[in-house]
């Protein structure tokens, strides 16, 4: 009886500590330099995700674990006295993988076949965190003299280990993080 109460108490303490322990994520991650512009045909979005790589995430990448970074983009039309209308929802995935043999960091966008190779980790991290002129909508779909806004959010997807090792190393899910939604308003 005493052993059973002791085991339950220990289990309860560890369970509470596990639940209340802050995740090993980028606590101050955010979006900076958010800019909405246009070219002749499209609305373009520029942004940078900041403070998104923790020591644990960097160690996993250097160990060869492919890591995916997802950026969510929404384009809304503001409508007075009515709910804003979402015109576009876009998801962009950046994946980084370290090739231990070639000593290169491979960064691919949206699963493209040819990944861009970087010899240094800092360059690969910049490529992962930057959005440079992503076309979100065609200008001809927007109405003139109206207000619009772009919302953006970034998150690391769950780390997928080979051979279903994520079931053994269950704590890697603590690497997941999301930023808050950021918003940039513009007039067309």
What pTM was estimated for this model as a whole? 0.74
Rounded Cα distance between 65 and 25, Å, is 16
Instruction: Report domain extents, the chain.
Output: 30-187
Instruction: Please name the residues in contact with 94: beta carbons below 8 A apart, sequence gap of 6 or more.
Output: 68, 69, 70, 71, 107, 108, 109, 127, 128
For every one of its 188 residues, what pLDDT tens digit does the chain have, with 9 covering 90 and above? 656 655 555 554 445 444 444 444 445 788 999 999 999 999 999 999 998 888 888 888 898 888 888 999 999 999 988 999 999 999 999 999 999 999 999 999 986 778 999 999 999 999 999 999 999 999 999 999 999 999 999 988 755 555 555 555 545 554 567 899 999 999 99
Rounded Cα distance between 59 and 102, Å, is 18
CATH class label, 30-187:
mainly beta
């Amino acid at each position: 009886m005493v052993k059973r109460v002791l085991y339950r108490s220990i289990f309860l303490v560890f369970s509470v500590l596990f639940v209340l322990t802050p995740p090993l994520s980028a606590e101050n991650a955010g979006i900076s330099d958010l800019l909405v512009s246009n070219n002749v045909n499209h609305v373009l979005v520029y942004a940078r995700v900041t403070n998104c790589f923790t020591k644990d995430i960097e160690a996993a990448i250097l160990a060869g674990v492919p890591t995916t970074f997802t950026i969510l983009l929404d384009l809304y039309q503001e409508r007075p006295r009515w709910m804003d209308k979402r015109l576009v929802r876009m998801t962009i995935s950046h994946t980084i993988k370290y090739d231990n043999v070639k000593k290169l960091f491979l960064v691919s966008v949206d699963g493209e076949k040819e990944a861009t190779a970087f010899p240094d980790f800092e360059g690969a991290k910049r490529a992962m965190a930057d959005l440079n002129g992503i076309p979100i909508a065609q200008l001809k779909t927007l109405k003139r003299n109206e207000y619009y806004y772009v919302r953006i959010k970034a998150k690391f997807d769950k780390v997928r280990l080979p051979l279903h090792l994520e079931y053994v190393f269950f704590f890697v899910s603590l690497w997941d993080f999301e930023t808050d939604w950021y918003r940039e308003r513009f007039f067309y």
